[in-house]
Amino acid sequence: MPHVVFLLVPQLHLLDLAGPAQVFSTAADFGHDYRLHYVGEREEVPTAQGLPVRAGLAWPELGPDDLVLVPGWRSPTLGDPRIGADSRRRLAAHHAAGGTVASVCSGAHALGSAGLLDGRRCTTHHDLQEELARRYPAATVVRDVLYVVDDRVVTSAGIASGIDLALHLVATRHGPATAARIAREMVVYARRNGHERQASVLLRYRAHLAEVVHRAQDLIDARFTDRLPLAELASACRVSERTLTRQFGQATGMSPLRYQHLLRLERAEHLIGHGATVESAARAVGFEDARMLRRLRARTAG
């Protein structure tokens, strides 16, 4: 049962904490066995918004499947890293044992103080990027992106981008359909990936309110590896093929088949990035062979 541990620091931003916590809590509501923990170096932690929060002083026993996340705090500069030597040691040890660590906004400073940014790409709020680069010259600070993932160290820009970060982690573990379901439950229509041009296909093309198209997307999302004739999709949505094609194009800018192909491509790229061959990835996502996948990859790269 994966643990998600939030390390609470003084003057933390409530949304930096509540946004990711809501994502993982909703994932647990949908049957994914996340257990959320809130730990700190004091039992009562003041927040930037004036509402104190309670933290436990004892950490759970962590394994490689677990996540530790540090929310950001209010400060015109990075200031001090807001965590002591014991917390820094725990962060470093968790990562060294194969676990994932993450931060929102200025929380990147806490990861840096634990030695986790050296030699890695990272980001933070745009107002703090220059200072982060000065403090950690061995890190590569990526400007003006929502979040960066580098060797199980995940850093995000701040505030609402913590939701994007959490949805990305859910999508990586459970697939984009689960992340989209959580986003819809949270009434968040358009979720973003670290680089806007690389936004999740499933989430990017959900930024509309066309219920017929959402129903079609739900079916394609759930069965993107299957052959789905337009007639079957239209029947399931209780509209004509012509109406579905028109509404789908208006809402997403593409046909249902093109949308399905982009979902397959995105999943195939994920598999290839984790060591699969092009041929095995193509079969896993529903293509008969690798030719179509290669054409799609070449077209997208161009």
CA neighbor of 278 nearest in space, from 289, 266, 264, 286: 289
Q: Where are the beta strands (DSSP E) in the chain?
A: 3-8, 35-40, 44-45, 53-54, 67-70, 100-104, 121-122, 140-141, 147-150, 153-156
**Helix/strand/coil percentages in the chain, nearest 5:** 50, 15, 40
Residue 285 has pLDDT above 80, yes or no: yes
Q: Which pLDDT does position 203 carry in this prediction?
A: 66
Q: What are the extents of the domains in the chain?
A: 3-174, 208-301
Residue 192 binned pLDDT confidence (cut-offs 50, 70, 90): low
Report the percentage of the chain scoring pLDDT > 70. 94
Give residue-wise pLDDT tens across range 5-22.
999 999 999 999 999 999
209: confidence class by pLDDT, cuts 50, 70, 90: confident
Q: What is d(CA 199, CA 140) in angstroms, rounded to the nearest whole number?
A: 22
Alpha carbon distance 124, 120 (integer Å):
13
Residue 197: what pLDDT? 36
User: Can 3-174 and 208-301 be said to share one CATH topology?
Assistant: no
Average pLDDT over residues 253-262: 95
Structure tokens at 6: 């939030």
pLDDT tens readout for residues 49-76: 999 999 999 999 999 999 999 999 988 7
Tens digits of per-residue pLDDT, 127-144? 899 999 999 999 999 987
**Phi, psi at 293, each rounded to 5°:** -60, -45
d(CA 242, CA 247): 9
End-to-end CA separation in angstroms for the chain: 42
Q: Mean pLDDT across the stretch 176-193?
A: 75
Question: In sequence order, which residues have a C-beta less than 8 Å from that of residue 211 and are 6 or more positions away?
Answer: none
What are the two backbone dihedrals, phi and then psi, of residue 210, each rounded to the nearest 5 degrees? -80, 105
CATH class entry, domain 208-301: mainly alpha
Q: Determine the pLDDT at residue 204.
A: 73
pLDDT at residue 179, as a whole number: 87
Distance CA 139, CA 124 (A): 12
- Which of 23, 35, 67, 25 lies closest to 163 in space, CA to CA? 23
Both tokens of 94, joined, read: 């968790």
Yes or no: domain 3-174 corresponds to CATH 3.20.20.80: no
- pTM to 2 decimal places: 0.67
Provide CB contacts within 8 A for 177, sequence distance 6+.
Answer: 202, 221, 222
